[in-house]
Chains A and B, each alone.
Chain A
Amino acid sequence: MATRFGLQKWFPDFFDRFGAFTVFDLLVDYIKSGRIQVDKTKITGRIAYHDPCNYGRKSEELFGHGFFDEPRWVLDQCVSDWVDLNPNRANQYCCGGGGGTLLTPYKNERLTYGLKKIQQIRRSGAGMIVLPCHSCHSQIRTLLAENGMTEIAVKYLWELVADILVID
């Protein structure tokens, strides 16, 4: 998001000269075009999806499009039982580690922020959280460890895809 924002602000002609794709554009294109195949039977158990603020609410505001449907389409291709956290999409709660707070000394605050996320995850009944953001990944993994919930796995969306690639 920072790069896209910066390109639009300082290098607007970039988009006349080059193409630019998000992680979602690539995953959807590779799967739709058949360039990669995924095996939907490989993962059993319930997965919950977390919308990162930057790809969701903030992309919607800054770029006029929030990436809500694309990751859900990818999940539909990859697993048979996935659920949304509540609230979700534009009303999703921040993981509590955004805005660089993972890099500040305010760890107690960060863990407190995350209690809402922990509550959402508990209510979902999922054994795995899938998300497409490095900050959310670090924060949610820490939250689960701090709250004695390490039996719940955290995966990047592209990690999920990579794990179930059909290998000839």
Chain B
Amino acid sequence: MLNFQENKLTQTIKDKAPLRPIESIPDLCLSCGTCSAGCPITGISGFDPRKIVRMVLEGSDQELIDSPLPWLCTMCGKCEHACPMGINIVNIIRTARGMVDRDKVPGMIHKGVELDLETGNNLGLPAEDFKFIIEDVAGELAETPGFEDFQVPFDKQGANLLHTLHNKLVNTQNEDLVHWWKIFYKAKEDWTIPSVNWEGVNWGLFSGDDDAMKVFVGRIVDHMERLEIKNLMYPE
């Protein structure tokens, strides 16, 4: 039972009616809908960032996790750029993604993460096949006027710059491998690419998987240390 006397001594109006009852960040939400107005995909297949923030605020975590909503988002950040309260909506989405059972992650995202963990790239491409593709494309460039004797330096000790590759360039977009190679050649850059763990993209960002993400970033640190490279070219 409420002890009026004691209550009077210990609780102020502010205690009873806090000006900002902040328990977690989404509690700051004013429900103004600016996020949804700013989001370019609001209304498509039921997507609505304000609704997502409200779900989190109300504790409907499981409903959100079981829905396709976290995966419909492109994480473009326009919602939180517009939010007057600075709520980190993209992080809410990514956190929800990370709480989904890994076998329920739609499409290729988690499969790519698993392959990268196992093989060092999202394609699961063996090292000898990787080297063959790279040397094949490099050989063609070396026959192009202006790029005579071009070679791709694998695992060069003490190089100035570490270059990694987006898996799609090694897969279906081989013709896009040469652009940076041409620039490096003309700039006389002292660069190198790793012959293993060469993957430049980090799908742990998309799948909400911090453990995997850390492994992939750690591999880049490992290349830099092992090969004593001076500078990293950010993969993306």
Contact = CB atoms under 8 A, between A and B. Distances in A.
Interface of A: 1-7, 10-11, 14, 17-23, 26-27, 30, 35-36, 53-54, 57-58, 61, 90-91, 93-94, 96-101, 103-106, 109, 112-113, 116, 133-134, 138, 156, 158-159, 161-163, 165, 167-168
Given A21-B233, A57-B76, A103-B206, 10 more contacts: A3-B232, A11-B218, A14-B221, A17-B224, A53-B75, A94-B78, A103-B109, A104-B107, A134-B166, A158-B179
Interface residues of B, number: 64
Contacts of B202: 2-3, 6
Given A3-B217, A90-B81, A21 B76 contact: no
B186 A100 contact: no
Contacts of A99: 73-76, 93, 206
B204 A2 contact: yes
A10 B107 CA distance: 28
A54 B206 CA distance: 12
Contacts of A91: 78, 81
Given A94-B40, A98-B75, A109-B41, A11 B221 contact: yes
A109 B81 contact: no
What 6 A-B pairs have minimum CB-CB distances, sorted nearest first? A100-B206, A99-B75, A6-B217, A167-B146, A94-B76, A19-B231
A57 B107 contact: no
Most chain A beta-carbon neighbours within 10 Å: one of B74, B93, B112, B166:
B74
A100 B236 contact: no
Contact of A101 (B74, B205, B224, B235): B74
B90 to A, nearest CB: 8
Given A98-B74, A100-B109, A109-B44, A4 B234 contact: yes
Interface in B178-236: 178-180, 182-183, 186-189, 200-207, 213-214, 216-218, 220-221, 224, 229-236
